[in-house]
Amino acid sequence: ASLTVIARGVYDSLYDIGDAFSDKFTVQEREKRKFEYKLREVYTDIALPPLSLRLGRQQVVWGETDNFRALDVINPLDLRWHWSRESWEDIRIPLWMVRAIYDIGKIGPLEESFAEAIWIPWDFQRGTTTTDPRLRARANSVVSNDQLFDLQTTVIDRKPDKGLESSQGGMRFKGIWRGIDFSLNYFFTFGDTGLKIRRDLAAQQPCPADAVCSVVNTVNPRSHVVGFAANYSEEKYTQAVFRVETALNTGVPVRLKSGIPRRFDKDNDSFETARRTVVMLAFDRTTWIRPLNKMRTFLIS
């Protein structure tokens, strides 16, 4: 068995060397934003051949895509720090989970095959992002029939709790067939955060005559992610690596347009879930471009 602990400390000098943000943040906000001290990953690896276990706070990466989320959806992303321009290893949010890999090896025409299972018993976290500081305040007015009204919004957060009923889990099978490295994947999780307009609750609240009152629920519907990924290195003609990845997601939140016919919005909450299919095709090739660099190759992707 082995223990791994990964921590990170960050200092962002932007808030000290310039005054571009001096009018957007208070002194307390600047101090909070320019420092980060965080224990990111802590897990133990236990080898019990042909079974291996990893227990603790960790990242799990599936799929073949680069900077594109199809199957790599197990860990949410923290986009508050330099948006998505950092390595995904640094912006994924590690989760407490159990990961098990059973090494199968050669089975029929397949080589280097294994089965993997993960279980996230309670650690659900939403992906985070940041907005322009000038847009942080919630809207407080609305125009209706050319008249200006105060907008009073009550938000009820229906985020999954930390009970076992909020567990997430998945499995995949990976192997090599005639040089094609492939995987079959399934993950049972929660979809992105959606917004339900609760007109029934808004009607029950006392509301001033010069205001519009709104009640919304933030929800994360259950989602199934089913997908396939593969890569193949073609050495004879192209000397390139070809990659493919596809995923079907259910429970994708959709905001319905206001005024839509009631038959399309049976719950009258401007909310629905949909299915989404994503397909990625790519190739990578290491190539000499000697007029640009006589010593090193370029990766064309």
Q: What is the mean pLDDT of the chain?
A: 91
Residue 27 predicted with pLDDT over 60: yes
CA pair distance 237, 239, nearest whole angstrom: 6
Amino acid at 159: K
Q: What is the pTM of this model?
A: 0.88
Using an 8 Å Cβ cutoff, are 257 and 224 in contact? no
The rounded Cα 8 to chain-centroid distance in angstroms is: 20
108 sits in the region (left: phi over 0; alpha: psi -120 to 50; else beta) called: left
Confidence grade of residue 134 (pLDDT, cut at 50, 70, 90): low
Helices (H), 53-198: 88-91
Comparing 164-168, 174-178, 207-211, which segment has the lowest mean pLDDT?
207-211
Confidence grade of residue 135 (pLDDT, cut at 50, 70, 90): low
Using an 8 Å Cβ cutoff, are 286 and 299 in contact? yes
CA pair distance 156, 54, nearest whole angstrom: 36
Residue 131 predicted with pLDDT over 70: no
- pLDDT at residue 55, rounded to an integer: 98
Residue 20 predicted with pLDDT over 70: no
Which of 1-21 are b and which e, b meaning 16 or more Cβ less than 10 Å from the residue's Cβ?
A: eeeeeeeeeeeeeebeeeeee
Mean pLDDT within 144-149: 87
Question: Which of 31-35, 42-46, 127-131: highest mean pLDDT?
Answer: 42-46
pLDDT tens profile 232-283: 999 999 999 999 999 999 999 999 988 888 888 989 999 999 999 999 999 9
Q: Which residue has the tokens 């000098």?
A: 13
pLDDT tens profile 54-89: 999 999 999 987 777 899 999 999 887 777 778 889
Residue 132 predicted with pLDDT over 70: no
